[in-house]
Amino acid sequence: MSSPDRLAPPPPVYDRFTRSDRIQHLVMIASFLLLALTGLPQKFIYANNRYLDDLIDAMGGLEMVRVLHRWAATALMLVTVYHLLAVAHRVLVRRVSLSMLPRYQDVLDGLQAVRYNLGLAKERPRTDRYTWEEKVEYWSLVWGTVVMIATGFMLWNPVATARFMPGQWIPAAQVIHGGEALLAILAVLVWHFYSVHLRHFNRAMFTGLMTEEEMGHEHPLELERIKAGAAHPPQDPAALARRRKIFLPVSGVIALLLLAGIYWFVTFEQTAIATVPPPR
Amino acid sequence: MKHPPFAAPLLLVSALLLPGSAARAQECLDCHSQPGSSVSFKGGSSKDVTVDPKAWAESVHGSAGLSCTDCHAGHESYPHPEVKADSERDYTLNHYTTCEQCHDEQFKKQLDGVHMKVIASGNKKAAVCSDCHNPHVQKKITGEGGKLLPEGRLAVPRTCARCHAAIQAEYRQSVHGEALVDGNPDVPTCIDCHGVHNIPDPRTAEFRLQSPRICADCHTDRRKMAKYKLSTQVLRTYVADFHGSTVTLFQRRHPDQVTNKPVCYDCHGVHNIAGKNDPRKSLLVKANLLATCRKCHPDATENFPDSWLSHYIPTRDRAPAVYWARLAYQILIPSVVGGMVLFVASDFVRRQVDRRRRRLDHVEHV
């Protein structure tokens, strides 16, 4: 690897996100947007806002908005299941480093960034493959999705929920569902839009690639490692094939179980959706 | 027409002796106070046309000095013109328009009422003016400013009961109806909810969607509710909940939308509304509340009714899970988003400063 004739000039662009990552992101955008568009006007019906009412009507009326919200939620749950399996594949089969896990260094990086902005530090933190800001965003999304799916289940199936939980947990779930939604939307508008659109339009999530200059600014430690040839340690092809052989059937079964879980989730009870026909 | 043989001479004597419209009423009563007068209709039926002179004299019309012919135009002379109506009902339907002469406002209103719609659809039984206000005996029921007198309020359910007897019986047992009989001036009679004269059809989706406003008229009135220790938060808490927000949105955007989400009366009853202390029906009794939920959610079990906060605003003691969840997000949202905004702002400013410095450095080095 280190012999002089193999030291070609570094490529001008670096792979950052696989096609699978990018497709997940697109599905996420679509479902998140639809969830927000169909959820927010429902949350604020009591505010008697003409534009939010217009938005509901533009999407086909309140009952249609509720159906759309559930379809978008189903899409979000499907992409969540896919993501879990994709991460499992990365960790268990390809054995890539767990670069998204939060570390103590991320706390230090965050503090240094704040201090730098205030003029109390000389340099910005030198960040690795995932910056502390990206980790805040990713883990917020994970937390938010868990909360929304759990409380969403309770609102979707209130009669079933009340069988094994106190009844008042359902209105509490409604409060949490709405509060977490507002938090998520505002966080995306502030944190996500600033860090990948406003500060510098980061196209990596759409093209999958990053230029050397961008890498130098945002992921200097990763760039160093790539240049040192240490980013992707070589793997034993036989071991890789063996792990894949185990992973495929096991993940297939787990995927089927999770899909069955989603089916169970969305069809669990009828009364809250269809209930009785309207009074004469 | 059958008439007593002495009719003609009596009429003549009265006409000579008595002046004015009161005189003419007396003329008519000379015959019409005598029992036995009747009118035959073309369809074969007949009707007694006796008028009780005492009741007439005490009636609002009689005491105001109205003459019979003010309404019964064309009956000034005797023999009276031939009756063309097929039946008593036809006669009423042909002649009730005479009320418009004096009661223009009420007459116009009732043209838009549900009774008139029912008549137009072919059911002749629906009420017109004289069915509720018999003009020969109707007493004055309004006082100053057209406000209904206490006797008038008491009479309302009896009047409606002439046709709607079963509903009136239910109402009498209700918390409102029982109190009305005791002379309580706060409780609604039929017309306080249904209106009067231009009564809307209560079977429509429109009526259903706007019905919470009817109840809220009194039930958000602090002065009125304080007397009975009732909450005035009932509308607010209903609108804040899933059922109420749906109904409210439909009401303001699509007033004719059909919906299965409950309005006040779906849970509390329509005419048979019970008081909160009624053990058989009070929704404060958990079993009653569960039975109510099951009307729409047949699979509901014991815990389910608690998912409805019973018009209470969550506090530390009542629905604490909701209270704490709300408080948590009231703190979480501004602190998280505020923190993000602060960092983003500091980052943005710092980058502007850095860029400017780089540009200055560049200029100096040139």
More confident: B179 or A7: B179
Domain segments of chain B as ranges: 1-140, 142-199, 200-313, 316-350
How does pLDDT run across B222-267, given as a tens digit for each residue? 999 999 999 999 999 999 999 999 999 999 999 998 888 999 999 9
Taking 80 as the threshold, does the pLDDT of residue A280 lie above it? Answer: no
Question: Which pLDDT does position B38 carry in this prediction?
Answer: 87
User: Which among B249, B333, B336 has CB closest to A62?
Assistant: B249
Distance CA B249, CA A48 (A): 8
Nearest to B340 among A166, A191, A276 (CB): A191
Domain CATH number, residue A127: 1.20.950.20
Interatomic CA distance for residues B324 and B314, integer angstroms? 9
All residues of chain A having their beta carbon less than 8 Å from the beta carbon of residue B308 are 167, 171
Look up the domain containing A155 and give its range.
Answer: 13-267
Residue A276 lies in a domain: no
Pairing of strands B46-48, B38-40: antiparallel
| Chain A residues lying within 8 Å of B324, measured CB to CB | 172
Which backbone phi and psi does B164 adopt, to 5 degrees? Answer: -105, 60
B256 and B264 Cβ atoms separated by less than 8 Å: no
Q: Is A260 on the interface with B (CB under 8 A)?
A: no
Sorting pLDDT into bands at 50, 70 and 90, what band is B3? low
Record the pTM: 0.86
- On the CB side of A241, CA atoms within 13 Å amount to 3
What tokens does A45 get?
């019906």
When mean pLDDT is compared across A266-270, B45-49, B54-58, B130-134, the lowest value belongs to: A266-270
pLDDT (mean) for A260-264: 93
- Inter-chain CB proximity B259 and A278 less than 8 Å: yes
User: Cβ contacts (< 8 Å) between A53 and chain B: which residues?
Assistant: 249, 252-253
B252·A169 Cβ contact <8 A: no
The reply to whether A272 falls in a domain is no
Contact B254 A182 (CB under 8 A): no
C-alpha to C-alpha distance for A211 and A215, rounded to whole angstroms: 6
ipTM value for the complex: 0.88
- Give the contacts of A5 (CB within 8 A, at least 6 positions apart): none
Distance from CA of A206 to the nearest CA of B (A): 23
Subunit contact A166:B303, Cβ cutoff 8 A: yes
Q: Considering the domain boundaries, does residue A233 fall inside one?
A: yes
Task: Give domain status of residue A61, yes or no.
Answer: yes
List Cα–Cα distances, A228 to A36, A62, A92, A231, B362, in angstroms. 44, 57, 25, 8, 32
Q: Residue A172's closest chain B neighbor by CA? A: B322
Rounded-to-10 torsion of CA B266, B271, B277, B283: -10
C-alpha of A276 from chain center: 37
Which residues are bridge partners to B39 per DSSP?
B47
Tokens of B296: 């729409």
Number of structural domains, chain A? 1
| Helix spans in chain A (H) | 19-43, 50-58, 62-88, 104-117, 132-156, 158-164, 169-187, 193, 204-207, 212-218, 220-227, 237-267
Q: Of B233, B309, B324, B347, which to mutate for an interface test with A (greatest number of A Cβ within 10 Å)?
A: B347
Task: Answer yes or no: is pLDDT of A32 > 70.
Answer: yes
Whether A250 is in a domain gets the answer: yes
Facing B306 at nearest CB: one of A166, A269, A278:
A166
Residue A274 lies in a domain: no
pLDDT score of B147? 86
Question: What is the structure's pLDDT at B4?
Answer: 52
Residue B143, pLDDT score: 87
Q: Distance between alpha carbon A100 and the CA centroid of its chain, in Å?
A: 12
At residue B365, the pLDDT reads 66
- Name the least confident of A74-88, B10-24, B26-40: B10-24
Number of H helices, E strands in chain A: 12, 2
pLDDT value, residue A279: 47
Give the per-residue pLDDT at A2. Answer: 47
User: What is residue A11's predicted lDDT score, i.e. its pLDDT?
Assistant: 59
Query: How many whole angstroms separate alpha carbon B310 and alpha carbon B328?
Result: 22
Q: Do B296 and A114 touch (CB under 8 A)?
A: no
Contact B314 A183 (CB under 8 A): no
Q: What is the mean pLDDT of residues A44-49?
A: 91
How far, in Å, are A135, A141, A190, B213 from residue B334 at the CA level? 21, 18, 12, 35
**Partners of residue B263 in chain A, C-beta under 8 Å:** none
B-facing residues of A in 160-199 (CB < 8 A) are: 162-163, 165-172, 174-176, 178-180, 182-183, 186-187, 190-191, 194-195, 198-199
Substitution target in A38, A42, A46 with the highest count of B β-carbons within 10 Å is: A46
**pLDDT at B81 (0 to 100):** 87
**8-state DSSP, B136:** T
Among B208, B266, B325, beta carbon nearest to A172: B325
Cross-chain residue pair A117–B346, CB shorter than 8 Å: yes
Contact indicator for A149, A80 with CB cutoff of 8 Å: yes
Quote the CA–CA distance of A154 and A151 in Å, as a whole number: 5
pLDDT at A200: 84
Q: How far apart are CA B288 and CA B251, in angstroms?
A: 28
Q: Which residues of B touch A115 (CB under 8 A)?
A: none
In this structure, is residue A87 part of a structural domain?
yes
Å from A200 to nearest chain B CA? 11
| Candidates A57, A159, A182; nearest CB to B297 | A159
Beta-ladder partners of B48: B38
The shortest C-alpha distance from B326 to chain A (Å) reads 6
Cα angle B80, B85, B89; round to 5:
120
**pLDDT in the model for residue A274:** 59
| CA neighbor of B27 nearest in space, from B11, B16, B38, B49 | B11
Spatial distance between the Cα atoms of A96 and A91, rounded to a whole number of angstroms: 6
Q: Out of A77-81, B42-46, B189-193, B344-348, which region has the weakest mean confidence (pLDDT)?
A: B42-46
Report the alpha-carbon distance of residue B50 to residue B262 in Å, rounded: 51
- Residues in chain A with CB shorter than 8 Å from the CB of B356 are none
Query: Please, which contacts does B244-250 make with residues 24 or more away whose CB atoms are closer than 8 Å?
Result: B244/B212, B245/A42, B245/A45, B245/A46, B246/A45, B246/A62, B247/B209, B247/B212, B248/A45, B248/A46, B248/B212, B249/A45, B249/A53, B249/A56, B249/A62, B250/A62, B250/B209
Q: Indicate whether A234 pLDDT > 90.
A: no
Question: In this structure, are residues B150 and B144 in contact, taking their beta carbons and an 8 Å threshold?
Answer: no
State chain B's mean pLDDT as an integer.
89
Task: Return all residues near B182 (Cβ < 8 A) that are at least 6 apart.
Answer: none
Confidence of residue B15 (pLDDT cuts 50, 70, 90): very low
Q: Give the dihedral of Cα atoms B205, B210, B211, B212; nearest 10 deg.
A: 130
Contact B319 A280 (CB under 8 A): no
> CA of A250 to nearest chain B CA: how many angstroms apart?
37
B38-40 and A209-211 strand pairing: unpaired
Beta-carbon neighbour count of residue B31 at 10 Å?
Answer: 21
pLDDT of residue B285: 84
Cβ–Cβ below 8 Å for B321 and A174? no
> With 90 as the cut, is the pLDDT of residue B151 above it?
no
Mean pLDDT along residues B126-149: 91
* A176 within domain boundaries: yes
The helix/strand count (H/E) of chain B reads as 20, 2
CA atoms of A27 and A205, how far apart (whole Å): 12
- Whether A49 and chain B come into contact, CB under 8 Å, resolves to no
- The whole-angstrom distance between B175's CA and the closest CA on chain A is 24
Asked whether the beta carbons of residue B306 and residue A162 sit closer than 8 angstroms, the reply is yes
Contacts of A170 in chain B (CB under 8 A): 307
B62 and B134 in contact (C-beta within 8 Å)? no
